Amino acid sequence: MTTVEAFATHEDLAAVLNRTFTEEEQAWVDVLLADASTYLRSVIGQQVYPQETVTFTDWPDVGRVDLPQFPVVSVAAVERDGRPVRYRLRPGYIDHVHGTDPVDVTFTFGYATPPEELKRLACVLVSSALVTLEAGVGLTAGGLSSAALDDFKLAWADAGASSGMSLPEIQQAAIRAQFGRGGLALVEYGL
């Protein structure tokens, strides 16, 4: 099972906000940062951090086996029935795997340290959420345009479409392209 770790810490957020969090707030902020990191991973569609080594089994398709996570750091072994199989590593996949029987692929993927852009985005998401959480209006990080105290009223500029921990679609597309599989060129095989 893949370990889930936040891209940023309460210390990172405190430095960005020029703020000191109490011990109770530190635990709370760490939970929010973990939630923001989980959200970012779901947008990216990949684990990306922390770095991990896994083994999986797959069947070669015309000599090709797609690696299920990105970025790939290294391939330690490709084996069939415990014996090494020759292969060539390509961006996001291996090819030149002879035969159609399943192979076991052991590879390392992910960044050793959180990418600065993902750390920054986790902090942005949580700092936006803190504004409304500390005001006691709940987790509504985006789109809130006004709040009134008399007869308590909230108004959203976008009808609440950006409420919760979320990024605009243009930012989602940008981090998918940078950290997901969106930027990989795939090779097509002819018959």
The pLDDT tens digits of the residues spanning 76-96 come to 999 999 999 999 999 889 999
Question: Is 170 contained in some domain?
Answer: yes
pLDDT of residue 143: 60
Choose among 71, 68, 3, 6: nearest CA to 38: 6
- Is residue 97 scored above 60 in pLDDT? yes
Does 120 lie in the same domain as 104?
Answer: no
Compute the average pLDDT of residues 44-73.
94
**Number of domains comprising the chain:** 2
Question: Is 104 contained in some domain?
Answer: yes
- Is residue 15 scored above 70 in pLDDT? yes
Q: Is 144 helix (H, G, I), strand (E, B) or coil?
A: strand
Last residue of a domain, one of 84, 109, 134: 109
CB 5 within 8 A of CB 37: yes
Does 120 lie in the same domain as 177?
Answer: yes
Does 41 lie in the same domain as 124?
Answer: yes
- Is residue 180 scored above 60 in pLDDT? yes
pLDDT of residue 166: 81
Question: Is 4 contained in some domain?
Answer: no
pLDDT of residue 145: 61
Question: Is 117 contained in some domain?
Answer: yes
Residue range 131-142, pLDDT digits in tens: 766 666 565 545
Extract the tokens encoding 97.
């795997």
Residue 24 CA to residue 140 CA, distance in Å, equals 21
- Is residue 160 scored above 70 in pLDDT? no
Question: Is 85 contained in some domain?
Answer: yes
The H-or-E segment that residue 182 falls in is: none
Q: How confident is the model at residue 161 (pLDDT cuts 50, 70, 90)?
A: low
Residue range 146-157, pLDDT digits in tens: 666 666 555 656
Does 170 lie in the same domain as 120?
Answer: yes
CB 109 within 8 A of CB 88: no
Question: Is 188 contained in some domain?
Answer: no
pLDDT of residue 155: 61
pLDDT > 70: what percent of the chain? 75
Query: Which domain does 95 fall in, by range?
Result: 52-109
